[in-house]
Amino acid sequence: MAKKVLTRIPKEEREETPLRRRLRVARHTLLPVLLIVVTTLLVLGATLSLAGYDAGQAGAALWRGAFGSWHAITSATLVRATPLIILALGFAFALRGGALNIGGEGQFYAGAIAAAAVGLHVATWPAGLAIGATWTAAFVAGVVWISVPVLLKLRFGVLEAISTLLLNFVAEALVSWMVQGPLQEPTHIYPQSATIPESAVLPLLPGTRLHAGFALALVLAAVLWFVFSRTRWGFHLRAASYGPRVVEIISRRNVGGMLAVALLVSGGISALAGATEVGGVSRALYQNLSPGYGFTAIAVALLARLRPGAIILSGVFFGGLEAGAAAMQRDAGVPAVVVYVVEAVVIITLLLIEARGWRRREALAGA
Amino acid sequence: MTEVLIAGFLAATVRVATPLLLAALGELLAERGGSINLGIEGSMLAGALAAAMGAVWYGTTAGMVFAVLAGAALAAVFALITVKWGADQIIAGTAITLGSIGLTGAVYRMAFGTGGARLSIPTVSPIDVPLFSKLPLIGPALFAQPLTTYIGLALVPALWWFLFRTRAGLQLRATGEDRRAATAAGVNTVMHRVLSLVAGGMLAGLAGATLVLAQVGTFAEKMTAGRGFVAVALVVLGRWHPVGALLAALLFGAATALQYLFQAMALDVPYQLFIVLPYLLALVGLAGVLGRVKAPEELGKS
């Protein structure tokens, strides 16, 4: 019997060109994401029809409110996307190393308080300096706020997911006390702080409500991309979520310490969202400043598979969804809260894809 | 005067503690099986709305039943995606809660309209235990409470008995400690995890019903306000033991009731302090300051 001659290299052994690799990655990451988005919107439409709403009218209102005009895109969608992108970047920064920061909402408020408190005292400063001061203050406040869960994790092994979550409620109470106590506006009538001076207000894109916080979000995304893809520390952090022991041996780093740093930075980034919201949108500290941005951001980050560049896109998508939902409630009478259902469906679907991917990898590793 | 105040304080303590106790006992069951279910907040909220709808249309008993079913339904979804499909428990729980906020908000508006008028819901009245309810100080707190309080109190010894004195309880704990060993020993771990989660969801639903039918008398969006998350902390604070969960819930109730007491005594303390006190206590409890104790080994692993 003649020996079988290999005429072509088996597919697995063929060298992968960069282009092929990119295409493969795109197929594995982009396709499921697009599928999820489309399916979710279809399910939403079907549910609305079943509930007796005019799905076509609702969908049209959603589109008009989100992307239907230059005004809708800049003044509604991107303004809502800004805190979502920043918070999602914060969430992703910790989760890239395997730490779960569910306290984005609380850190948002910590940042908002710090930005308002500092913003009120920098009236005489030049604008750039004043804004820089509020952002720095917010970042520090976020780091301080999350340092409690970090300490509890390092010292007592407390699950950071639960401790950060619990601190959200403390932060909300703190805001409530601030706007009725130390930071209340001078007449002491309304539960809000005084309006911050012009120097601390973020510049707007002319003719729109889009503020400089969006630029900050883009810069942060670029920085995170650089840290994750171009620095050794970022590489080790990402590797730590797969095999902490291996990273400790290879890098001689203390993975616990790396995770602590990742969580602290994560808290700082999340707090910046509070600062841009106060400086760019509300211009004063209020209660209920965030309609649950911290939780929506989890969906934003997961939809982007924690990739900084993709977080911008998914942040804009969810920002559009929320802006559109507001229009949908106004024009078609559909309760805007249904976007939470959409978010939940997106998160769960992604989790399932992720979990199945894991199983495949584990099966391969075990073989 | 003082006696009235103290009796009122104790009664308020038990009243606040009841939904927390029910939810915490439910979460305790799930965690003993190795699942940390943050969706319990969603189960509670769904239970609250289901109780409101059931009570308005068919009466309070139907409200309770609806609430239990709604809580169980969400927990079943959680069980499906974490136990069967192996998704991350923390994120799945957060997603379930998020979905529940959206779903309850939408259904509430569809069922009762968007008007600003508060929904008035038939409530359950307290059941007085003859003679005992007239006891000084502790009478109103322990013997003149709605049915769900008695259910919660009765469940404490019942759960203790189940967990530590029955075969099924042992199997559930084994599932939570070492799933593979339990499976090897012939325990149906999947069944134990699913059933403990669903039973936990039922109790969370009942907790939501208590809020609506025995306390507030109306439904509002996001009305559970994180009580489900608190219940998760109470389980840790109570060291995964039913009696511990009861004590933790009472402690939490007392911290909240102090708020009313201080207001009644017109003390000038910011009320937000009492709002945060329970959360801080839970953090202290998580740190194990009250004594180290080991969590179920499989907790959080899908």
Could you tell me which residue, B44 or B270, shows the higher pLDDT?
A: B44
B132 assigned to some structural domain: no
Helices B2-32 and B147-165 cross at an angle (nearest 10°) of 40
Average pLDDT, chain B: 86
CA triple A202-A109-B108, angle to 5 deg:
110
Q: Which residue of B has its CA nearest to A342?
A: B99
Instruction: Give a three-class secondary structure readout of chain A.
Output: CCCCCCCCCCHHHCCCCHHHHHHHHHHHHHHHHHHHHHHHHHHHHHHHHHCCCCHHHHHHHHHHHHHCCHHHHHHHHHHHHHHHHHHHHHHHHHHCCCCCCCCHHHHHHHHHHHHHHHHCCCCCCCHHHHHHHHHHHHHHHHHHHHHHHHHHHHHHCCCHHHHHHHHHHHHHHHHHHHCCCCCECCCCCCCEECCCCHHHCCCECCCCCCECHHHHHHHHHHHHHHHHHHCHHHHHHHHHCCCHHHHHHHHCCCHHHHHHHHHHHHHHHHHHHHHHHHHHHHCCCECCCCCCHHHHHHHHHHHCCCCHHHHHHHHHHHHHHHHHHHHHHHHHCCCCCHHHHHHHHHHHHHHHHHHHHHHHHHHHHHC
Flag whether residue B94 sits within 8 Å of chain A, measured between CB atoms.
yes
Q: Give the other-Cβ count within 10 Å of A223's Cβ.
A: 13
Between chains, do B106 and A173 touch, taking CB under 8 Å as contact? no
Between chains, do B94 and A354 touch, taking CB under 8 Å as contact? no
B298 assigned to some structural domain: no
Flag whether residue B282 sits within 8 Å of chain A, measured between CB atoms.
yes
Question: B144 - beta bridge partners?
Answer: B128
Q: Which residue of A has its CA nearest to B269?
A: A177
Residues of chain B with C-beta less than 8 angstroms from the C-beta of A343: 95, 98-99, 102
- Predicted pLDDT of residue B137: 67
Are A175 and A145 within 8 A, CB to CB? no
Between chains, do A298 and B94 touch, taking CB under 8 Å as contact? yes
pLDDT > 90 in chain B, percent: 47
Between chains, do B276 and A170 touch, taking CB under 8 Å as contact? yes
Residues of chain B with C-beta less than 8 angstroms from the C-beta of A152: 283, 286-287
Give one word for A79, left, alpha or beta, with left for phi > 0 and alpha for psi -120 to 50.
alpha
Residue A169 has its nearest CB partner, among B102, B226, B286, at B226
B10 assigned to some structural domain: no
Sign of CA dihedral A47, A48, A52, A55: negative
B103 assigned to some structural domain: yes
Listed as own residue / partner, the contacts of A6-10 with beta carbons closer than 8 Å and 24 or more positions apart are: none
Distance CA B280, CA A24 (A): 48
Average confidence (pLDDT) over B148-159: 93
Q: Can you name the CATH fold of A57-350?
A: ABC transporter involved in vitamin B12 uptake, BtuC (1.10.3470)
Q: Which residue of A has its CA nearest to B285?
A: A158
Q: Which residue of A has its CA nearest to B237?
A: A158
Structure tokens at B158: 């019942």
A151 contact partners, CB below 8 Å, separation of at least 6:
none
Q: Which residue of A has its CA nearest to B88?
A: A351
B3 assigned to some structural domain: no
Question: A5 - beta bridge partners?
Answer: none
Range of the domain at B253: 17-112+144-286
Gap from A343 CA to chain B (nearest CA, Å):
7
Are A168 and A162 within 8 A, CB to CB? no
Structure tokens at A11: 């597919």
Residues of chain A with C-beta less than 8 angstroms from the C-beta of B272: 173-174, 176-177
* A215: nearest Cα among A78, A112, A323: A78
- Predicted pLDDT of residue A367: 33
- Predicted pLDDT of residue A363: 47
* B120: nearest Cα among B218, B224, B221: B218
Between chains, do B91 and A156 touch, taking CB under 8 Å as contact? no
Give one word for B291, left, alpha or beta, with left for phi > 0 and alpha for psi -120 to 50.
left
Residue A340 has its nearest CB partner, among B101, B229, B302, at B101
Structure tokens at A268: 């700082």
Distance CA B190, CA B196 (A): 10
B117 assigned to some structural domain: no
Number of domains in chain B: 1
Average confidence (pLDDT) over B277-297: 74
B260-281 tens-digit pLDDT = 777 767 667 777 787 788 788 8
Contacting B residues, span 116-145, partner chain A, CB-CB under 8 Å = none
Structure tokens at A307: 């990739």
The low-confidence residues of chain A, meaning pLDDT below 70, are: 1-15, 29, 356-367
Between chains, do A351 and B95 touch, taking CB under 8 Å as contact? yes
Residue A166 has its nearest CB partner, among B100, B233, B302, at B233
B204 assigned to some structural domain: yes
Between chains, do A355 and B106 touch, taking CB under 8 Å as contact? no
**Pairing state of beta strands B127-128 and B144-145?**
antiparallel
Q: Which residues of A321-348 are buried (b: 16+ CB within 10 A; e: fewer)?
A: bbbbbbbbbeebebbbbbbbbbbbbbbb
* B154: nearest Cα among B67, B25, B61: B25
Distance CA A302, CA A311 (A): 9
- Predicted pLDDT of residue B185: 92
Between chains, do A337 and B232 touch, taking CB under 8 Å as contact? no
Residues of chain B with C-beta less than 8 angstroms from the C-beta of A340: 98-99, 101-103, 105
Hunting for tokens 């506006």 — which residue is that?
Answer: A185
pLDDT > 70 in chain B, percent: 91
Residue A343 has its nearest CB partner, among B98, B105, B302, at B98
Between chains, do B94 and A295 touch, taking CB under 8 Å as contact? yes
Return the top range by mean pLDDT from B22-26, B132-136, B260-264. B22-26
For residue B111, give Cα distances in angstroms to A46, A63, B61, B70, B293. 19, 26, 19, 16, 46
Instruction: Give a three-class secondary structure readout of chain B.
Output: CHHHHHHHHHHHHHHHHHHHHHHHHHHHHHHHCCCCCCCHHHHHHHHHHHHHHHHHHHCHHHHHHHHHHHHHHHHHHHHHHHHHCCCCHHHHHHHHHHHHHHHHHHHHHHHHCCCCCCCCCCCCCCEECCCHHHCCCCHHHHHEECHHHHHHHHHHHHHHHHHHHCHHHHHHHHHHHCHHHHHHCCCCHHHHHHHHHHHHHHHHHHHHHHHHHHHHCCCCCCCCCCHHHHHHHHHHHCCCCHHHHHHHHHHHHHHHHHHHHHHHCCCCCCCHHHHHHHHHHHHHHHCCCCCCCCCCCCCCCC
Distance CA A306, CA A225 (A): 10
Question: A286 - beta bridge partners?
Answer: A192
For residue B6, give Cα distances in angstroms to B12, B137, B141, B254, B295. 10, 7, 10, 11, 36
Distance CA B232, CA B227 (A): 9
Distance CA B232, CA B223 (A): 17
Q: Which residue of B has its CA nearest to A175?
A: B272
B222 assigned to some structural domain: yes
For residue B200, give Cα distances in angstroms to A164, B75, B158. 23, 7, 14
For residue A23, give Cα distances in angstroms to A18, A354, A358, B31. 9, 19, 21, 43
Per-residue pLDDT band for B289 (boundaries 50, 70, 90) equals low
Gap from A100 CA to chain B (nearest CA, Å):
8
Between chains, do A343 and B102 touch, taking CB under 8 Å as contact? yes
Q: Which residue of B has its CA nearest to A91?
A: B91
